[in-house]
Amino acid sequence: MKSLSNSAGEELRAISGDMLSDTDKKRFAKDIISALAALTCLIAGKLYAKFFPSQDVIAGIIYFVGVAVIGIPIAITAIKGFIKQDISASMEILVFVAVTVCVLDGEYTVAILIPIILTIVHFLEEKSIMGGREALDGLKKMQSRTAVKIVDGVETEVDAKTLVPGDIIVVKPGAALSADGTVISGATNMDQKSLTGESIPKEINPGDSVYAGTVNIDGEIKVRVEKAYAESSFSKIVELLENAENMTMPETRIVDRFMVYYIPMALIIATLVWLFSKDITKAVAVLVVSCPCGYMLVSSAPVIAALAASAKRGILIKKPSFIEKLAETDYFVFDKTGTVTGGTLEAVGTHLVGAESEEQLITAAATVANGSLHPTSRSVVKLAAGRIEEGYSVTEAVGKGVRGKKGDDEIILGSRRFLVSEGFSVPESFEEEGACSWVAKNGELLGCIVFRDIPRPEAAEAVSKLKKMGVTEVCMFTGDNAVAAERIGTQIGFDTVKSRLLPEDKLENVKEAKKEHIVTAVGDGINDSPALGEADVGIAMGAMGSDTAIASADIALMNNDLNNLPFLVELCRRTKKTIYANIIIAFSISFVMIFLAAAGVISPVTGAFLHNIGAFIVLINSGRILKKNREE
């Protein structure tokens, strides 16, 4: 019987997709049929023994068939688990021993009822677990499986999995997007809370990016598909969540080590109870209540609750092991541009060196900035308002600048440090005004555009919350000049500000901090990938649509709300405390139940019901994570 041949923890991991997969549905059908067949044999045997009391052999055969129907799968799993020393088969081993003892003692009724009752109770457990996974299962259903594609000018409904980059789809009001893409016509408001957790709809216009799993609210739009169905950000998020469910927290090693000795201990206690009491029923009861159902849930249930709570806020935790690390973090490192600032820079002036006009300077800068996703480059393009020369081949030096070539013409846009490394003589006198983006063309320095970025409105509050939570050091590492960095750092309240850092410099600073601290690095996932990868925990901001951010970070925030960081630290600490509480609950209840069974207070059949008390209390305790999240 498969529901007994899997531990409760395995059952927890088995449930995915549409609540139950086809395989799980078949397994449940087989379980129910086996239980009904065994119950039928039990009733038939009872009736036969009542009406034909002299033919007890035939009644015994009927009972034995019932035991075989429901007991053989248990026996197979138990034997395999014993040979392979698989602790997840602990329950099956104990049940197999209990059923065998009952059969040898002629207690066929108990031998059949114990596994039947366990099947019913485990089904109820799974229903409880499913309830705890509603947020994740609901998320998985958000991506539309069909799309309205324009084929030869005609709107045609197609399977979303057949879409390829370049296809044009129509998204009508109320419809969910099936693929990532770019709006080419129409305007609307999009509900993005399935990915970002943000309840306020986002205004969408031509040129804006839209994502699978979001919902069109009020306007019809046409979208050019940029990624296939399976490559969408949403599909990758779902895949990562499913993979994360299959892992457990490091704290469960405590349980694993104990479980190695648990079965021998349970068998020894049952044997001693039998020897001293001369009552085999008490020994069987000890075996039944010893089934370690609750132990398998001590970590899995809180982890799934934490995943669900974080997913509702647009936070993707790729591996539960990072929950433990983030709970213990005492050192936070923030990038500046695009992380603690909005990433939208405000131009406050220009300074001409070799350029004949401000228009010439801005046009040259925007020509190469158009090929970059860096916030500075996006601001330059916006400032140019369409004044861009076509035909340039652009390459980007990450964290330094961009270079564009067309024939013999070459334009360079970047930091002062980058242009100095290219051989230009660049003045420093303007940097007190803000961040300077310098422009050179064909070996001549044209001048610079001066920008100031604005801190996110919640940045100072988020940093203050982290400090109040006991984070000893909150730092900002940036490639910007010292004046701009100190201005932002003072406004937000960072303990330490380090400026003029290249990506490799950030990496070395993180390595140094790790010698004495547990470090969490927060960045936009573009220039910060090395630092995010090196930190104990890497968190990427605004990761929706960014494959780089999702790949490089351990945790990805689909939105840019910095208040998600203190929420996440608190959630991880709460989850870790819940796991330790679950361990104490599961072990304490088991020992009490064993004592009561040994004393004869609990019978084997009653024990089949009661041994799951620990599992249900563990589930209820773990559910407090979701309840607390809803209250907040």
pLDDT single digits (tens) 436-490:
889 999 999 999 988 877 888 899 999 999 999 999 999 999 887 787 788 889 9
The Cα–Cα gap between 4 and 70 comes to: 10
Which of helix, strand or coil describes residue 542? Answer: coil
Tokens of 631: 């209250």
345-354, 363-372, 532-541 — which is least confidently predicted?
A: 345-354
The Cα–Cα gap between 235 and 250 comes to: 27
Q: What's the pLDDT score for residue 66?
A: 84
- Which residue has 């024939």 as its token pair? 407
Quickly state the pLDDT bin for 364 (edges 50, 70, 90). Answer: very high
Q: What's the pLDDT score for residue 494?
A: 95
Average pLDDT of span 229-253:
64
Q: Please state, as a whole number, how many other Cβ atoms lie within 10 Å of the Cβ of residue 100.
A: 18
Pairing of strands 435-441, 409-414: antiparallel
Of the candidates 513, 616, 631, 514, the one whose C-alpha atom is nearest the C-alpha of residue 571 is: 631
Q: Which helix (H) or strand (E) holds 368?
A: helix 358-369
Q: What's the pLDDT score for residue 307?
A: 80
Average pLDDT of span 190-194:
75
Quickly state the pLDDT bin for 552 (edges 50, 70, 90). Answer: low
82 contacts 5 by C-beta, under 8 angstroms: no
% of the chain residues with pLDDT over 70 = 80
The Cα–Cα gap between 627 and 310 comes to: 13
When mean pLDDT is compared over 2-6, 13-17, 550-554, 586-590, the highest value belongs to: 586-590
Quickly state the pLDDT bin for 531 (edges 50, 70, 90). Answer: confident
pLDDT surpassing 60 at residue 162: yes
73-82, 265-274, 492-501, 577-586 — which is least confidently predicted?
A: 73-82
% of the chain residues with pLDDT over 90 = 19
Quickly state the pLDDT bin for 15 (edges 50, 70, 90). Answer: very low
Average pLDDT of span 170-180:
87
106 contacts 57 by C-beta, under 8 angstroms: no
The residue ranking higher by pLDDT, 333 or 320, is: 333
532 contacts 338 by C-beta, under 8 angstroms: no
Q: What's the pLDDT score for residue 454?
A: 81
Q: What's the pLDDT score for residue 549?
A: 58
In single-letter form, the type of residue at position 406 comes to K
Average pLDDT of span 118-139:
54
Q: Where are the beta strands (DSSP E) in 364-417?
A: 393-397, 401-406, 409-414
pLDDT surpassing 90 at residue 323: no
Mean pLDDT for the chain?
80
Tokens of 470: 């006991």
Tokens of 20: 């139950």
Tokens of 35: 């239980």
pLDDT surpassing 70 at residue 16: no
Q: CB within 8 A of 271, min separation 6: which ones?
A: 283
CA 233 to chain centre: 13
Which of helix, strand or coil describes residue 20? Answer: coil
pLDDT surpassing 50 at residue 519: yes
The residue ranking higher by pLDDT, 128 or 240, is: 240
Q: What's the pLDDT score for residue 331?
A: 95
> Which strands, in side-by-side order, build the sheet including 146-151?
154-159, 146-151, 168-171, 221-225, 181-185, 209-210
Q: What's the pLDDT score for residue 426?
A: 87
Of the candidates 328, 335, 329, the one whose C-alpha atom is nearest the C-alpha of residue 475 is: 335
Q: What is the CA radius of gyration of the chain?
A: 32
pLDDT surpassing 60 at residue 3: no
